[in-house]
Each structure stands twice: as C-alpha cells, then as structure tokens.
Amino acid sequence: MMKLIEIEPHFWELYQNQEQLYLSVSVDNSAVTYNWDLHLTEAQQQAYQQQGRESIVELAKQIVAAVFRGDFSFVEKHDTTAEEKAAIFAAFKQWREAQKQD
C-alpha cells in the first residue's frame, strides 16, 4: 500500500510502496506549476536510508535545476506508470484527510 512518508509542502512529497520509494516534485516557473511523480533508483533509496530527508532535499533541487535547464532526461527515465500515479494520488488524498481530522 502506498504511503506518504515525508513532505516539503509545495515542493516535494516522498512515498513508499513496500520497498520502492517515489518522489513527487513540483516545479513552479511563475506561469505554470508542473508536477512529476518519479520512482527512485536503488542508489537514491540507499542515500535516503543513510542520509535521510537531506538526500531527498538535494535530489529535488537537482531535478528542479535540470528542468529549468531544459533537461528532462531524469524525469522521463524515472516517470511512474498510470497505476503508480493513481496510488500516489490516493495516498496524498488519504494523508490530507487525516490532516483535517487533527
């Protein structure tokens, strides 16, 4: 089951489904906000296990910088499936509902 495990509001969210981690990153270029849901590589997942949240902060910054340079290779290579995107959306919705109850 997909769960939201870390969040930096309006920037990124980190999700976990069993052993796989997913990063949802928002990129705001003033006119439009783009959002990408990405699966993390084994190395990126290990970095998170060893360094925690800071590794995700740095990865998100790298992704945003690449997108602003017009380099979409990482987001294209690590894009999630429609099923994964739906699970991420459902997990976010569940998390948001839980926040309203607190």
pLDDT tens string 67-76: 989 999 999 9
Q: Within the chain, where are the H helices?
A: 42-51, 53-68, 73-77, 82-101
Provide the 10 A C-beta neighbour count for residue 40.
21
The DSSP output letter for 22 is: E
Give the integer Cα–Cα distance in Å for 28 and 17: 27
Give the integer Cα–Cα distance in Å for 82 and 84: 5
pLDDT of residue 34: 87
pLDDT of residue 101: 81
Report residue 32's pLDDT band, with 50, 70 and 90 as the boundaries: confident
Q: What is the mean pLDDT of residues 39-51?
A: 97
The mean pLDDT value of the chain amounts to 94
